[in-house]
Chain A
Amino acid sequence: MSKLKEQKSIPVGKVQRATKFISTGAKIGGNYLKHYSKKLVNPELSKDELHQDNASDIYNSLSELKGSALKVAQMLSMDKNLLPTAYQTQFAMAQYSAPPLSYPLVVRTFEKALRKNPNELFDTFSHSATNAASIGQVHQATAKGKVLAVKIQYPGVAESVKSDLAMVKPIALRMFKLNPAEYDEFIGEVETRLLEETDYRLELKRSIELSQQCQHIQGLTFPTYYPEYSGDRVLTMDWMEGKPLGAMFKSNAWTQSDRNRIGQALWDFYHFQIHRLRSLHADPHPGNFIITPEGKLGVIDFGCVKEIPTHFYKQYFQLLDSEILTDTERMNRVFQELRFIYPDDSAREKKFFTEVFMQLVDLLGRPFRSPRFDFSEKSYFEALYRFGEEIGQMPAFRESKRARGVKDALYINRTYYGLYNLLHELKSDVDTTSCVDFKP
């Protein structure tokens, strides 16, 4: 484990982030000004150039912003397909980037949570962090002959989530052309998830539940969690030896059968959760998985969990039915339920969005339509990305005054997006019918 460099630079505060937003706002204002002054001269000018200017300014400032604001942008952009895929992959990698905590603050946070000094509770406790977690850092400890990973949360994260979300609102409204009510609905969903991520007690409860329920799935392994060493800002689990999943992407040390086995474990893990538990680990990020020396897939972070409401489950997973696209009446009903189309859309809009979403459903559902699917297939992912980019450039899509989709789909889409990408990077060939067995 490499030692992380402790904070040496001036941390980014709320004020700085706020000025960042303000300067973006000013730039966008400037772009409109530029657009309208050009339009005075040339009335034919379309808004496309303006959108391009806006998108690049927004991207430039967002890529400098870290933290929850970035996550919000990431979620929204994935759903609206607004940003080009090159940006999306960058966003997908976005993590909180807080500098590591000093040792005294670690001790302080630990004492507040557990009323004891870590050196009293553990036989050893590492002075500096061994790993960064999304909103905290991990220290290695030993107790009773066991090696433990102790995750310590950065103080003030919950507050900064709230203030970031409040700041992102005016920009996002303009950027994604949502109306405020829709924005609140989507942001409410993101805010709930982000705030849940800061609640380590909840994470402990969910980690124990989900890891016990998924224990039987072949090829998976979970650490044991220790409630006696955990609190609202501290979470303790077994230290898992192994390589991060990301290391497998590029390395040649893995055979195809290794890749298939790990990929299958991932696939089964997600579909068991979706169809049986109706509650899932909604953050398929390579950093959340470890490959143990025995070649098993270790799941180490249950910070982000989405519970799937029953009515939504019924609506959404009808899309995987192979007959849905041929049965027009049923398709229209499902599309309306999922708000891909609205009853009061104009005939032109209805036709346009129906076609776009049919294509999307066809494309995204493809792995389910054959018993096995090879995720290493480049052409499939290229088609997927190209389609995403096309949608992003469709003016009708971008200028739609309404959100297309429902809030519960936000994290399910994100999970599938992440899962497909992981499997693609792993180059796995997966038995996709295994999820059928999980269906109740």
Chain B
Amino acid sequence: MEKTTKSKSKGTTASADNITAAYRDCLLSEGKQPASVFKFCKDQGFKESEFYQCFASFEALEKAIWKNFVETTRAKMLADASYSSFTTREKILTFYFMLAETLKTDRSFVLIQLKSWNKPGMVPPFLKGFKSSFDDWINSVLNEGKATGEIAKRPFLDDRYDVLFWLHLMFILQFWAHDQSSNFEQTDAAIEKSVNLAFDLIGKGVLDNALDFGKFLYQNSKS
């Protein structure tokens, strides 16, 4: 997303892209949201009605930027011919790596937004679209994994895996935000290691055998 200068946008009808770029510019230079939509539009030379045609509020605008991160990543992934032949694990890894790459181009914006997120238990408003788009994608990938048997079917548990991956994504986002290594190499390592761990947990393995054994003991104790 290129930054549009004031003079360029003046006079022409403002598109969603122009408004987004101007807002991002404003937020990063000022370090805070503009006082009002009115003030923002006046400073940037938009008509207020043009703003409302695209976005209902600043929050809606932020939400759209975040959602766009996921959408761009998904589109980039699908453009790679070999993607469809990947295993579920590889698809998820690719998603995280590409998302990290996408976010890198907008790191300042992401950091300033994450700073305003002070209640870790809650999904902040700006992440809501991001989350729904991610949930959408992760569920389709997880279902594929269940179909191929890469992910173990566990009654009651396996339809909650998307929650697990959402928390995982938040972990990666925080890790990346605090990563001081050159080219964010440590984030790459963190993604690789944590996804592998996640797949050890959701693949067929110790947990299933433990559950199976527990069930056996429980049934025997009843009879």
A residues adjacent to B (C-beta < 8 A): 7-11, 13, 99, 101-105, 107-109, 111-112, 117, 119, 154-156, 159
Give residues 163-201 of B contacting A (CB, 8 Å): 181, 183, 185-186, 188-189, 191-193, 195-197, 200
Interface string of B91-125 (1 = CB under 8 A from A): 00110010001000000000000000000000000
Asked if B90 CB lies within 8 Å of chain A CBs, one says yes
Q: Are A104 and B189 in contact (CB under 8 A)?
A: no
Asked if B80 CB lies within 8 Å of chain A CBs, one says yes
User: Which residues of chain A are near B195, meaning CB under 8 Å?
Assistant: 102
Q: Are B186 and A156 in contact (CB under 8 A)?
A: yes
Q: Are B197 and A102 in contact (CB under 8 A)?
A: no
Question: In the complex where A112-B183, A156-B189 touch, is A105 in contact with B97 (Cβ < 8 A)?
Answer: yes
**Dominant SS among interface residues on chain B:** helix
User: Which residues of chain B are near A119, meaning CB under 8 Å?
Assistant: 81-82
Contact of A102 among B80, B183, B196 (CB under 8 A): B196
Min CB–CB distance A314 → chain B (angstroms) = 40
Asked if B204 CB lies within 8 Å of chain A CBs, one says no
Asked if B89 CB lies within 8 Å of chain A CBs, one says yes
- Using a Cβ–Cβ cut-off of 8 Å, how many residues does chain B contribute to the interface with A? 23
Min CB–CB distance A257 → chain B (angstroms) = 48
User: Which residues of chain A are near B185, meaning CB under 8 Å?
Assistant: 155-156, 159
User: Which residues of chain B are near A156, meaning CB under 8 Å?
Assistant: 181, 185-186, 188-189
Q: Are A104 and B97 in contact (CB under 8 A)?
A: yes
B residues adjacent to A (C-beta < 8 A): 80-82, 86, 89-90, 93-94, 97, 101, 181, 183, 185-186, 188-189, 191-193, 195-197, 200
List 14 A-B residue pairs with CB atoms under 8 Å apart, sorted by A's residue number: A9-B200, A10-B196, A10-B200, A101-B192, A102-B93, A103-B86, A103-B93, A104-B90, A104-B97, A105-B97, A105-B192, A107-B97, A156-B181, A156-B185
Q: Are B93 and A10 in contact (CB under 8 A)?
A: no
Min CB–CB distance B87 → chain A (angstroms) = 9
| A108 to B200 alpha-carbon distance, docked (Å) | 22
Min CB–CB distance A28 → chain B (angstroms) = 31
Contact of B80 among A108, A112, A117 (CB under 8 A): A117
| A101 to B196 alpha-carbon distance, docked (Å) | 10
Q: Are B186 and A8 in contact (CB under 8 A)?
A: no
Min CB–CB distance B217 → chain A (angstroms) = 27
User: Which residues of chain B are near A99, meaning CB under 8 Å?
Assistant: 196
User: Which residues of chain A are near B183, meaning CB under 8 Å?
Assistant: 112
| A293 to B97 alpha-carbon distance, docked (Å) | 41
| A116 to B70 alpha-carbon distance, docked (Å) | 22
Q: Are A8 and B200 in contact (CB under 8 A)?
A: yes
Min CB–CB distance B28 → chain A (angstroms) = 25
Q: Are B94 and A104 in contact (CB under 8 A)?
A: yes
User: Which residues of chain B are near A155, meaning CB under 8 Å?
Assistant: 185-186, 188-189, 192
Min CB–CB distance A99 → chain B (angstroms) = 8
Contact of A108 among B82, B97, B181, B196 (CB under 8 A): B97
Q: Are B93 and A104 in contact (CB under 8 A)?
A: yes
Q: Are A7 and B196 in contact (CB under 8 A)?
A: yes
| A156 to B191 alpha-carbon distance, docked (Å) | 12
| A101 to B97 alpha-carbon distance, docked (Å) | 13
Closest-by-CB residue of B relative to A153 is B185
Q: Are A105 and B93 in contact (CB under 8 A)?
A: yes
Contact of B192 among A10, A102, A112 (CB under 8 A): A102
User: Which residues of chain B are near A13, meaning CB under 8 Å?
Assistant: 193
Min CB–CB distance A66 → chain B (angstroms) = 15
User: Which residues of chain B are near A104, meaning CB under 8 Å?
Assistant: 86, 90, 93-94, 97
User: Which residues of chain B are near A117, meaning CB under 8 Å?
Assistant: 80
| A11 to B191 alpha-carbon distance, docked (Å) | 12
Question: In the complex where A112-B183, A119-B82, A156-B181 touch, is A105 in contact with B188 (Cβ < 8 A)?
Answer: yes
User: Which residues of chain A are near B82, meaning CB under 8 Å?
Assistant: 119
User: Which residues of chain B are near A107, meaning CB under 8 Å?
Assistant: 94, 97
Closest-by-CB residue of B relative to A119 is B82
4 closest A-B pairs by beta carbon, nearest first, are A104-B93, A156-B189, A104-B94, A108-B97
Min CB–CB distance B43 → chain A (angstroms) = 37
Q: Are A109 and B196 in contact (CB under 8 A)?
A: no
Closest-by-CB residue of B relative to A7 is B196
Closest-by-CB residue of B relative to A105 is B192
| A4 to B215 alpha-carbon distance, docked (Å) | 36
User: Which residues of chain B are near A109, meaning CB under 8 Å?
Assistant: 188
Min CB–CB distance A12 → chain B (angstroms) = 10
| A108 to B183 alpha-carbon distance, docked (Å) | 12
Q: Are B200 and A102 in contact (CB under 8 A)?
A: no
